[in-house]
Structure 1
Amino acid sequence: MTATLTLPDDLADNECRQFDLPGESHSAFVIRHRGQVYAYRNACPHLGIALNWLPDQFMDPDRCFIQCANHNALFTVDDGHCITGPCAGDTLTPLPVARRDGKLVIDIA
């Protein structure tokens, strides 16, 4: 299935927004970091469970890395690479994101 989701491009730096993926059990999220916007499926590569316990909360306390709330694994924002935790060396699943007319456009394949 291919779908295109459109979200407002109003994220502050280091802010995340969770959204549902049509027809899938996992959600996804977008994050603005250092002026760039990234999107990932909300599934930890360790156990395949959601990264967050609270809506839109994906960053570590210092707001430098994406953090799995279940086992504290840390992921780099720009490529989703796990740098510490039980899934070290694995990566989050990225989603292509583009900006068009003040909106974030995310293609889901």
Structure 2
Amino acid sequence: MDTLPPLRPLCRLDDLPDGEAVALDAMLPDGEENLIVLRHGDGVRAWINVCPHAGRRLDWAPGKFLITRGTLVCAVHGASFRTDDGCCVGGPCRGDSLRAVPLTIEDGEVWLVPG
């Protein structure tokens, strides 16, 4: 019988720059994925780092994201996603959304929500 590795936090909240996004690898039920993790004050949001338009990563350099006027911009085709819900509001995939990954914060650590 296989045993699952022990759960561990993705990172500490204090390690995330406020108002910026970072890339983190995480083991999800479907396998390992690269995540966009965005901090706003004491809150965090995360999405799979894949643009729904062409299936490419959104970062312009490894782990570096362009955020402007409340939108996360795909470096490949310029699609703009709202940072509050991941919905595309401009560009070739308007109306589509990034795939959200639920997170929680406990004792200053950022965790994936199980399930």
| Counterpart for residue 15 of structure 1 | 20
Residue 28, structure 1, aligned to residue 35, structure 2: yes
Higher gyration radius (CA): 2
Provide the residue aligned with 1:47 in structure 2: 54
Residues 41, 93 of structure 1: 8 Å contact kept: yes
Moved more, 72-81 or 11-20: 11-20
1:37 to 44, 52, 55: 44
How many positions carry a matched residue from both structures?
A: 106
Q: State the Cα deviation string for residues 5-46 of structure 1 (Å, max 9, x = none).
A: 51111123212121113333x411210135531011000000
Partner of 1:76: 82
| In structure 2, C-alpha distance between the alignment counterparts of 1:4 and 1:96, rounded to whole Å | 15
| CA distance, structure 1, for counterparts of residue 7 and residue 81 of structure 2 | 25
Residue 59 of structure 1: CA displacement?
2.6
Percent sequence identity is 38
Moved over 4 A (4+): none
Q: Give the structure-2-normalised TM-score.
A: 0.79
The gaps in structure 1 that reach 5 residues or longer are none
One-letter amino acid of the counterpart of residue 48, structure 2: R
